[in-house]
Amino acid sequence: MSVEKILGDWRNKRFKPVYWLEGEEDYYIDKLVQYAEHEILTEAEAGFNLTVFYGKDADWAAVINACRRYPMFAERQVVLLKEAQQMRDIDKLEPYIEKPLTSTVLVVSYKEKKVDGRSRLAKLLKEKAELFTSKKKYDNELPGWTSELIRSKGYDITQKALLLLVDHIGNDLNRIDNEIDKLLVNLSGRERITEDDIEKYVGISKEYNVFELQDAFAKKDKAKAIRIIQYFESNPKAGPIQLILPSLYNFFSKVYLVHSQGTRDEKTVAAAIGVNSFFVKDYLSAARNYDYPGVESTLLLLHAYNLRSVGVNSAPAEDASLLKEMTVKIMG
């Protein structure tokens, strides 16, 4: 069941006795837990009928006893078990899950992993509970997800601003959501987020960032690449080498895949290398500027400089010096 379906049921006062929220993506689990904690019950009802446990300190017997209580002055009570992955003897909840009280809504937040599918608990959850598994978004899904999130809030964003935001934050949905809310507060009546807004309110330069450096490498624009690296030298937080090298390696790995395709059709290539179709032109452009051996050589250099950046087989060197040296070697 999806987040939207669960929230829709809750808004319409349709509840199951047990909700088990598990998986690697905290964002959706947090969203459901927050609603359960603050919206299912009124403020007056919550005073008597909301109980919150934390897995590290929770005793399984206390959780079950709380669930078996009847609500006071309300139709139902809500019991939240947060950070349940830290709870010892969590399998002791099995008898309650097998025969839950219909006037209790038990919501269990089991983050970072899933229950062992071979266990009795997992089988019980599939049979008796509403089981929700939250999966991490792939990097190529982030632009579409972020754009849709902004539209759901009644706003729009330019493609460059979208890319800057996603590239800077990475796969952290909670932080993306928070940064978007911060942006929207500062739009002053406008409904479209631009790259100027990203620069001003998120603190990402629209000219000097990892994406623009990637673009410079794709086009073999050595002068632009050196300018960006010099900016990073003066502003280390804007482009740490630990972010730059993996980003470039990921980019050229996909360029390598482009060469293995028998076509340059944008939609076909985008699907094959796992990127949003809007960005596939960058990879096709790089494939024109770097032939197959050139991409192989670039990947080897990126790997070598990644090792040098952490002091392997190399004397200590400034990050900017390493990046400039690498740029000259890659672009020839």
Across the chain, the runs of DSSP E, i.e. the strands, are 18-23, 50-54, 77-82, 104-111, 130-134, 156-157, 192-193
| Residue that is written with structure tokens 């000097």 in the block | 208
Domain endpoint, select from 134, 151, 177: 134
* Helix or strand (DSSP H, E) at 63: helix 60-67
Domain endpoint, select from 119, 134, 149: 134
Find how far residue 295's CA is from the centre of its chain.
29
Backbone angles phi, psi at 108, to 5 degrees: -110, 125
| Residue that is written with structure tokens 């073999």 in the block | 220
Which residues touch 239 (CB under 8 Å, ≥6 apart)?
Answer: 208, 209, 210, 213, 228, 229, 231, 232
- Domain shared by 219 and 316, yes or no: yes
- Domain shared by 160 and 243, yes or no: no
Can you give the CATH number for the domain in which 38 is found? 3.40.50.300
Q: How far is residue 139's CA from residue 173's CA, in Å, rounded to a whole number? A: 11
CA distance to 70, 111, 332, per residue, from 75 (Å): 9, 29, 73
- Domain shared by 174 and 247, yes or no: no
Mean pLDDT of 15-29: 96
- Domain shared by 240 and 294, yes or no: yes
- Domain shared by 318 and 235, yes or no: yes
111 with 26: CB under 8 angstroms?
A: yes
Can you give the CATH number for the domain in which 165 is found? 1.10.8.60
- Domain shared by 237 and 288, yes or no: yes
State the total domains in the chain. 3
User: Using one digit for the tens of pLDDT, what is the confidence trace for 144-195?
Assistant: 899 999 999 999 999 889 988 988 888 899 999 999 999 999 998 899 999 9
- Domain shared by 219 and 324, yes or no: yes
Which residues touch 157 (CB under 8 Å, ≥6 apart)?
Answer: 146, 147, 150, 165, 192, 193, 194
Q: Is the pLDDT of residue 213 over 90?
A: yes
Q: Which domain holds residue 167?
A: 139-202
CA angle 108, 112, 116 (to 5 degrees): 75
Question: Letter for the amino acid at 238?
Answer: A
- Domain shared by 163 and 262, yes or no: no
Domain endpoint, select from 106, 134, 162: 134
- Domain shared by 246 and 127, yes or no: no
Question: Letter for the amino acid at 137?
Answer: K
Counting residues of the chain whose pLDDT is more than 90, the rounded percentage is 72
Q: Model-level pTM?
A: 0.75
Token pair in block for residue 228 = 């960006």
- Domain shared by 114 and 222, yes or no: no
- Domain shared by 275 and 311, yes or no: yes
Give the CA dihedral 303, 304, 308, 313, nearest 10 degrees: 130
- Domain shared by 65 and 107, yes or no: yes
Looking at residue 106, its pLDDT comes to 98
User: Using one digit for the tens of pLDDT, what is the confidence trace for 74-112?
Assistant: 999 999 999 999 999 999 999 999 999 999 999 999 998
CA distance to 11, 18, 40, 207, 257, per residue, from 104 (Å): 16, 8, 12, 54, 53
